[in-house]
């Protein structure tokens, strides 16, 4: 008997079995991660709806708000039921919807405490939590079953890439809520941290969240959501991605989120203390500026992670281009320039001083620097966008990002002009709603520009390679 004949029956079946088991385990993990990402996506969307409704309490609160948030969960569960990657072909749609509901309910424990308050008995708390899980599971199961009954959507989306995109969305909403806090000058509405008026932050009663207190406290809760999302991403990255750079970046971004939370707290108190006494507190404007700008960097980091963990990133093939070095340099420089511009904008917003008779003293050095540097950054952004859109017809992702960058920078210039006019024509101390909307939109669009530029820089370096002149044969 030959060695080949002896080896075949002893090793081949075992190797094949291990390969199949590894593939099945990987597929199961991928499907679970996909449903986990969708559960977090549902929660982020539910929080966005709830936040928007709570900014204008009235008839839209209560039953209407409850119905809308439940509808959001059901819609996302339907998506889970319809998404049918190869690994999930055997999983019933209702079961995937249940997963989405369970994840959403677990994350929503961050806010359910505010509904029953910190002074309620254990029975009341247990009832709220049990109801949260029961409703979430039932709605998830129904949505998943309805989705599975429709035509399936075949997709091989990267679960980790999807989760990174959800995390980036959560950070973006956190930036919006922070911008509203700054725009409403409500940054010190809650004087203590990490408590809120002596309450555990997660148990501060919803009934007491009025006016500026609501905006400040809701921003803190969004920070908790981002923290949980980032920690979950770290675990998934180490479980699903073997690249050292991705794992290392996941650790770094979690540290960044923790530092950002500390900066936000110290901006309010000035020191580590649980006191609510004004004599023990020293609010810090410098930390407010750093806090605002650093949040933008975290958002850009998650945008980058969403790119490099996507399925398209792994399957993409670079092509040589004669202008590659210039394209890559300009695209890489733009995010750093935008960060500088965002810092100047934060300086202008936070360093305004209210003088006598309600007059606002503007830090003109920050304003003039923001405007002058903004012209240069806008020119660079348009140049990068045009080059990406017009020179890479065979690369749809570069064309789309280039066009989006051009549209965003034009919108930002219009919003910046409108915000400047709104601030200078304000008749008194009270901030009009239309001014708040314009300035908040201007800040949010700045964040989008940073995210777009980060994604474009990464894709440009991935897809556009310089010509290797040493290997080019003469014509």
Per-residue tokens: 349: 């917003």
For residue 9, being part of any structural domain is answered with no
Beta carbons of 257 and 226 less than 8 angstroms apart: yes
Residues 136 and 189 in one domain: no
- pLDDT, residue 469, reads 44
Among 122, 157, 192, identify where a domain stops.
157
Q: How far apart are CA 455 and CA 404, in angstroms?
A: 11
- pLDDT, residue 429, reads 66
- pLDDT, residue 205, reads 84
For residue 5, being part of any structural domain is answered with no
For residue 283, being part of any structural domain is answered with yes
Per-residue tokens: 267: 């901006």
For residue 71, being part of any structural domain is answered with yes
Residues 133 and 196 in one domain: no
- pLDDT, residue 12, reads 46
Beta carbons of 377 and 330 less than 8 angstroms apart: no
Q: How far apart are CA 345 and CA 446, in angstroms?
A: 10
For residue 321, being part of any structural domain is answered with yes
For residue 336, being part of any structural domain is answered with yes
Q: What is the DSSP string of 100-137?
A: HHHHHHHHTHHHHHHHH-TTS-HHHHHHHHHHHHHHHH
Q: pTM to 2 decimals?
A: 0.88
Residues 214 and 327 in one domain: no
Residues 223 and 296 in one domain: yes
For residue 394, being part of any structural domain is answered with yes
**Domain span including residue 256:** 160-310
Give the pLDDT means over successive 10-residue stretches in the chain (475 positions).
38 42 48 92 93 68 75 94 73 90 95 74 85 95 92 81 96 93 79 81 82 87 96 96 95 96 87 73 84 94 96 84 88 96 90 65 87 95 94 85 96 94 76 85 95 96 77 41
Q: How far apart are CA 153 and CA 325, in angstroms?
A: 39
- pLDDT, residue 395, reads 85
Q: What is the DSSP string of 211-238?
A: HHHHHHHHHHHHHHHHHHHHHHHHHHHH
Residues 120 and 149 in one domain: yes
Q: How far apart are CA 342 and CA 376, in angstroms?
A: 13
Residues 306 and 354 in one domain: no
- pLDDT, residue 331, reads 96
E strand or H helix that includes residue 68: helix 63-82
For residue 378, being part of any structural domain is answered with yes
Q: How far apart are CA 263 and CA 255, in angstroms?
A: 12
Q: How far apart are CA 419 and CA 345, in angstroms?
A: 12
Residues 125 and 200 in one domain: no
- pLDDT, residue 86, reads 63
- pLDDT, residue 24, reads 41
Query: What are the tens digits of pLDDT across the range 270-309?
Result: 787 777 777 677 778 888 899 999 999 999 999 999 999 9
Among 255, 290, 310, identify where a domain stops.
310
Beta carbons of 240 and 160 less than 8 angstroms apart: yes
Residues 107 and 170 in one domain: no
**Neighbour tally for 233: CB within 10 Å:** 24
- pLDDT, residue 6, reads 36
- pLDDT, residue 106, reads 96
Residues 424 and 304 in one domain: no
Among 265, 287, 310, identify where a domain stops.
310
Residues 131 and 249 in one domain: no
Paired strand residues for 353: 361
What single-letter DSSP state applies at residue 141? H
Per-residue tokens: 149: 């009954």
Number of structural domains in the chain: 3
Residues 56 and 167 in one domain: no
């Amino acid at each position: 008997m030959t060695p080949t004949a002896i080896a075949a029956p002893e090793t081949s079946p075992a190797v094949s079995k291990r390969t199949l088991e590894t593939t099945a385990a990987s597929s199961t993990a991928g499907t679970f991660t996909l449903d986990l990402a969708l559960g977090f996506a549902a929660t982020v969307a539910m929080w966005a709806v709830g936040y928007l409704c709570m900014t204008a309490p009235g008839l839209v609160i209560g039953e209407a708000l409850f119905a809308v948030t439940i509808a959001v969960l059901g819609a996302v569960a339907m998506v889970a039921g319809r998404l049918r990657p190869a690994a999930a072909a055997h999983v019933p749609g209702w079961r995937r919807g249940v997963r989405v509901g369970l994840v959403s309910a677990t994350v929503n424990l961050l806010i359910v405490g505010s509904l029953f308050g910190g002074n309620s008995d254990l029975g009341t708390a247990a009832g709220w939590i049990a109801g949260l899980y029961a409703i979430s599971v039932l709605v998830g199961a129904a949505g998943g079953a309805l989705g599975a009954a429709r035509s399936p959507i075949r997709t091989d989306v990267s679960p980790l890439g999807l989760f990174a995109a959800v995390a980036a969305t959560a950070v973006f909403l956190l930036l919006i809520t922070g911008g509203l806090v700054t725009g409403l000058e409500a940054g010190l509405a809650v004087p203590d941290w990490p408590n809120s008026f002596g309450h555990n932050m997660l148990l501060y009663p919803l009934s007491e969240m009025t006016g500026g207190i609501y905006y400040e406290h809701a921003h803190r809760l969004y920070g908790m959501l981002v923290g949980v999302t980032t920690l979950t991403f770290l675990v998934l990255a180490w479980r699903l991605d073997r690249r050292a750079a991705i794992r290392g970046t996941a650790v770094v971004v979690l540290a960044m989120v923790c530092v950002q939370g500390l900066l936000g707290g110290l901006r309010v108190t000035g020191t580590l203390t649980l006191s609510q006494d004004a004599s023990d507190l020293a609010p810090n404007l410098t930390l407010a500026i750093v806090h605002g700008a650093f949040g933008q960097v975290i958002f850009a980091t998650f945008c980058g992670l969403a790119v490099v963990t996507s399925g398209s990133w792994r399957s993409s093939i670079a092509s040589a281009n004669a202008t590659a070095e210039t394209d890559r340099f300009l695209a890489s420089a733009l995010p750093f320039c935008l960060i500088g511009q965002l810092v100047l904008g934060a300086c202008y917003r936070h360093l305004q001083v209210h003088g006598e008779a309600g007059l606002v003293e503007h830090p003109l050095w920050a304003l003039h620097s923001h405007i002058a540097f903004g012209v240069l950054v806008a020119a660079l952004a348009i140049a990068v966008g045009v080059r990406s859109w017009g020179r890479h017809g065979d690369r749809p992702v570069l064309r789309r990002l280039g066009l989006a960058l051009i549209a965003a920078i034009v919108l930002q210039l219009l919003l910046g002009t409108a915000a400047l006019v709104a601030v200078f024509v304000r008749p008194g101390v009270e901030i009009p709603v239309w001014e708040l909307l314009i300035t908040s939109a201007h800040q949010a669009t700045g964040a989008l520009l940073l995210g777009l530029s980060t994604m474009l820089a990464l894709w440009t370096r991935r897809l556009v390679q310089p010509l290797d002149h040493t290997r080019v044969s003469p014509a």
